A and B are shown apart, each in its own frame.
Chain A
Amino acid sequence: MENTTTTSTKKVVEADVKKPRLTAAEFTKEFKRQWVLVAISVAYVIYGIIFYYLPLVGWLMAFQNFVYADGLTGSKWVGLDKFKFLFSDKTFIMVIRNTFAMGVLNLVFSTVFAIGFAILLNEVRNKYFKKTIQTISYLPHFLSWIIVVAIVHDALTSTGVINEILMTLKIVDKPYPFLQKEGWFWPIVTFSHLWKETGWNAIIYLAAITSIDPCLYESASIDGAGRFQKIKYVTLPGIRPTIMILLLMNLGNVLNAGFEIQYLLGNDLVRDVSRTIDIYILDWALDGRNMDYSLGTAAGIFKTVVAMTFIIVSNYIAKKRGDERLF
């Protein structure tokens, strides 16, 4: 604990005065000046240790045949058996594919749509109209997935609004069974994400756009740039660092393609494309009929390792290209 305190203090000091080393007297002086900041950061360090680092002890379960009643110390060690089972299980390979596919679709579409929406919104002149649209668009973010799924599900059943419209327009003569078709599942999930999150995701880009120096736009106008040229040469480059940072952070989340929506919207007919790693973990680790915590933990470790690799690799690439990066 002592150590952490000193390190964080040091960081603050370094950032403040950019001096590599401090004498003891200087340190005490700095500490006195900044003790409130230190106290506040200590709280977060403790929080982080308790909630992010201590639970990692549980990873040991992946190498055991964990039995709840025997605990971590009493359970039998089985080495890499659980991982071997995982990678020989066809279902696991299938859920990895599903998770990747939905994660990537999600990342690509939500980024593109959020940026596009933010730019469109930025171009709106009428301030009142702009605010109204913005508020309406981010409201769905506050709905829980169970509500969103209920709406999507209702809309897509044979008597739902989508089929009603298609039938009224004579595009189909019989209700189209969207939810029964494997091919439709990923698009429906991606669409639901877009519907729910585009408005919310756009906020951060909108904020980034606002912080672009207006002089740049003015000089662009003087140079004869039109609206589209201003977007292309001023707005987009202006928010490029934001885009890069968010993209990097979200890459780590690709395997968090979701649990709730797939769990709630999926059904037996589309289970081959709907189940994600999280559902697999739930099924093996927490379902009272299997209760294999070890296998669930192993799958969880796999997920974390992949996410870490993603972030590190993409960060490295960003660094090479001289773009904005995380670390």
Chain B
Amino acid sequence: MSAFAAVFVREWRLAAAGGGGPAGPAAFMLAALALVPLAIGPDPDILRAAAPGVIAFAALLASLQGAERLFGDDLSDGTLELYALSPVSLTALSVIKAGAYVSAVLWPAPLIGFVAAMAYGMDGPSAGALSLGLVLALPGLALVSGFAGALAAGVKRSGLLIALIAAPLQVPLLVFVAGAGRAALEGTGLAGANLMLAGAFSLAALALAPFGMAAALRGRLE
């Protein structure tokens, strides 16, 4: 097994097992989405109109939940220094971490998004478009959260700081995912464009964010 694969397997298993794995963000998202109707009232029309935005927003917040642990633990217990000595570069490590975070922790978000969209009264196809938008946006959300996590690694109680850093940078994803759901719901024919833009943002984040994370981590290791 190559070093890359070995590190991925290790990171994946740690992410899946530690801190409840996918259960944490999933439960958070469910709780948030269960509270929304209580906050804005049970009117089906309002709920249906609000659904895409609220669901995309809940997924964004859920993606921030685990960002603190992404690099913070490895930095405090010295694992990061061992990684720096390993043949896997810090840039590759950042890709691995974000990939493991998506595939082990965040993966329920599109499913929960789909179920919640149906429960909020969206029709099947538009709930599907919203869910697909979440699938396309998850890598971008994870990479930006990871970027903020790498910058704030080693800071005490970094959760709030990570949210403050990551949230403005994630604005485009929020707009495109919610836009995809809403466009499908209203039948404006722009759902496809929104989906492609969400995917494009994720790809751009994949091209750039790992270098930013590696640079931030290198500073921590000096």
A and B from one complex:
no
